[in-house]
Amino acid sequence: MIKGLKKEIQKIQFLKYPVKICDVLQYFLENETAEYAFVSVNAELKQISFKEILPLLLSCSNGDHVCETELPQILFKNPVMVDIEDKETIIVQKISQAIEKEFPLVIYQKNGIVGQIPFKKLILFVKNCEIKEAIFVNPLTGLPGNYQIQQHYLVRQEPFSIAYFDFNNFKPFNDKYGFAKGDEAIKFAAVTLKKYFPECFIGHIGGDDFVIIGDFSQEHAMKAIEEFNKEVIVMHPEKDIKQGFIMGMDRYGKITKFPLLSGSLAVIYLTQKIDYSEITQELANIKSIAKNKLNQNLIPFEYKKI
């Protein structure tokens, strides 16, 4: 895998900070296929895309000096970097990070930066090598990760439903019983969600966050989270099940009673597709509403039609 990766490396042309807007524009004009320009800022490598300088370029007009001004440092992003001599598991992890962010992967060795693998080349490399599954699935649950979730959403034909699941009170559960028990709960969620949504695409964003995409009704989704919350109780020791709560420390360091582990489900039925970033924001908003229903002893479920 490493040998194949090395073949994809391209040299990086560095721009030195301070750099003018017009200098970055000139770089992209001379390098039409470039995804990012790389800038050395106080001995640290930063990157910026053409679309990130476009608003500044549009504000340039004849007679002013906007394009002659320095690019503000706040616009620069930290690249995803990996030592080519590192362990294969670390390299795979960094490739995954770059793909999720749609960034190039910057390669370095002890003597300095070797070059970059552009995002598009990185995707082609992954699709044609043995690490494809390692990149595109969550290692804990074996479910598709962020990149595949987004791609599935983009190709899905509306109307369809998309749901966001996560646990309630997962942190106190994890703190009390340990991370191994927390991982067990996450795997339990993956298995149970597949049972309730067998014909749907189920992705694991990370942690205790999951996405479900497919054709399912509001009634089915509400019944699923209701049944899930009855089943997940078995993750607790008998003593805590009987008392109906667990003791843990809140964010202020105070010993507090926490409800037993449960799940929340937010569902949006899409009659017309909206931008992926917009749908994730909508799901996050209605998930908060679903979670608040726990305080009212209601099923932590919320539904919206767009």
pLDDT of 166 above 60: yes
CATH number, domain of 273, equals 3.30.70.270
Element housing 279 (H / E): helix 276-292
pLDDT of 136 above 50: yes
For residues 235 and 262, the answer to whether their CB atoms sit within 8 Å is: no
DSSP strand pairing (36-41 vs 44-49) = antiparallel
Looking at the fold, whether 158 and 262 belong to one and the same domain comes out as: yes
Is residue 245 in a domain?
Answer: yes
Looking at the fold, whether 114 and 82 belong to one and the same domain comes out as: yes
Looking at the fold, whether 202 and 228 belong to one and the same domain comes out as: yes
Looking at the fold, whether 128 and 157 belong to one and the same domain comes out as: no
pLDDT of 89 above 80: no
DSSP strand pairing (209-214 vs 160-168) = antiparallel
Q: pLDDT digit string (tens) for 243-289?
A: 989 888 877 778 888 999 999 999 999 999 899 989 999 999 999 99
Looking at the fold, whether 225 and 195 belong to one and the same domain comes out as: yes
For residues 39 and 46, the answer to whether their CB atoms sit within 8 Å is: yes
CATH number, domain of 11, equals 3.10.580.10
Looking at the fold, whether 67 and 183 belong to one and the same domain comes out as: no
Structural domain ending residue among the three candidates 109, 134, 159: 134
Is residue 141 in a domain?
Answer: no
Structural domain ending residue among the three candidates 100, 134, 168: 134
Q: One-letter amino acid identity for 104?
A: P
Instruction: Give the domain extent around 102.
Output: 2-134
pTM of the predicted model as reported, rounded to 2 decimal places? 0.62
Strand residue runs (E) in 65-130: 80-83, 105-109, 112-117
